[in-house]
Amino acid sequence: MLLAVNPNRMELLRLKRRLALAKRGYKLLKDKRDALIQKFIKIVQENLKTREEFDKKMRENINLFLVSTLAMTNNEQNAIFQFPQRDIKVKVIHQNIMSVNVPHYEMTDEGNPYPYGFIQTSPELDIAIKKYKDLIPLMLKMAELDKAVLLLTEEIEKTRRRVNALEYVMIPNLEDTIKFITMKLDEMARSSSSALMRIKEIIRGE
Amino acid sequence: MSNIALIGEREVIIGFNLIGLNILPVCGNEEASKALKECIQQQYAIVFITNEVAKTMIREIEEYQKKSKTAICILPSLLGKSNICMNVLRKNVEKAVGTDILFRNEG
């Protein structure tokens, strides 16, 4: 498709400059897209692996935990679980992956995870709680990777649209228009030179 | 107060309370979406949701994932193989790469 411009030398120069810029941008964006996809696949695979690991550990753990709390009444459970003495906080640090801000979580924890009497509870509960505690870093990693996948997906989609727009719309349009203007200018040059030749002939005839 | 929240069924998540996560036990769709909304408003850093609860409000979760800075993470299912998180992951991969490269080998 031709752009709506006047066929003159000024426009030609301007368009040529724009074409060079578009081509450079296209190349850069294509590189960015490829790099993003490479990173993305790596993150997705890591995500899958983390999920599998978590799944396995959690399955073992939940059974242990349910068995240990099975014999308790609701009130007893509340007495144990209602007032935790432990606190976990995460600090969000942003990492830059190919101009995408991906969060990285750093955990700080403090306090006693066993704020209950050991006489009323079974040892399984202690083990289960300990295992839960060990699960937390895995969960944080999972959340981190999930968010990264989401953010990278959006960025890749955006970049791909840009690459495609440049490759299939912008650059062909510019090239067509440049060709049109060059041909028009050549045509004008030819017509003026032939007119000159004709005028010369006429003058010579007289 | 911790800035990690956990939404799910009471029996499954109550243990995490002692570890130091903020737990929000819910039952039913309405309670769950209310809890999620609250978490987003209070600007938790991470919200974990169990698979069974996430199943009932997958659309809301996706919406919040796009809009807010909070990382919403769906935990793998403890019953059976139907994993919402995997579906979400697969959808994202398809969106990004154009084809489902994750599960290609299995099918």
ipTM: 0.84
**Residue type present at position A112:** N
Q: Residue B19 domain-assigned?
A: yes
Q: For residue B30, what are the domain limits?
A: 4-78
CB A153 within 8 A of CB B92: yes
> Which among A88, A115, A129 has CB closest to B4?
A88
Tokens 């800075």, residue located: B69
User: Domain containing B61 — which CATH number?
Assistant: 3.40.50.10580
Residue of A nearest to B97 (CA): A37
Would B104 be classed as within a structural domain? no
As a whole number, the mean pLDDT across chain B is 80
pLDDT at A156: 92
For residue A48, which residues of chain B lie inside 8 Å, CB to CB?
89, 102
- The ranges assigned to domains in chain A are 9-205
Give domain status of residue B74, yes or no. Answer: yes
Give the Cβ contact number of residue A149 at 10 Å.
Answer: 21
How does pLDDT run across B59-75, given as a tens digit for each residue? 888 888 888 888 888 88
> Which pLDDT score is estimated for B107?
42
Position B89 in a domain: no
Token pair belonging to A7: 């066929």
| Contact by Cβ (8 Å): A37, A100 | no
Q: In the prediction, which pLDDT does A2 show? A: 82
Quote the tokens at residue A104: 């990285």
B55 lies in some domain: yes
Residue B106 has pLDDT above 60, yes or no: no
Pairing of strands A100-110, A87-97: antiparallel
**Number of separate domains in chain B:** 1
pLDDT higher for A39 or A118?
Answer: A39
The Cα A53–Cα A65 span in angstroms is 18
Q: Does residue B60 sit within a domain?
A: yes
Averaged pLDDT, B43-59: 85
In a domain, B54, yes or no: yes
Q: What is the pLDDT of residues A38-89, one digit of tens each?
A: 999 899 889 888 888 888 888 888 888 888 877 777 777 777 777 777 778 8
Q: What is the architecture, at CATH level 2, of domain A9-205?
A: Orthogonal Bundle (1.10)
Residues 131-150 of chain A with CB under 8 A from chain B are: 132-133, 136, 139-140, 142-144, 146-147, 149-150
**Residue A160 in contact with residue B97, Cβ under 8 Å?**
no
In one-letter notation, the amino acid at residue A132 is: Y
What's the pLDDT score for residue B2? 60
Are B92 and A129 an interchain contact pair (Cβ–Cβ within 8 Å)? Answer: no
Using 50, 70 and 90 to split pLDDT, how confident is the model at B81?
low
Helix (H, G, I), strand (E, B) or coil at A169: helix
Tell me if B92 and A81 make a contact (CB, 8 A cut-off): no
Average the pLDDT over A22-29 and give the result. Answer: 96
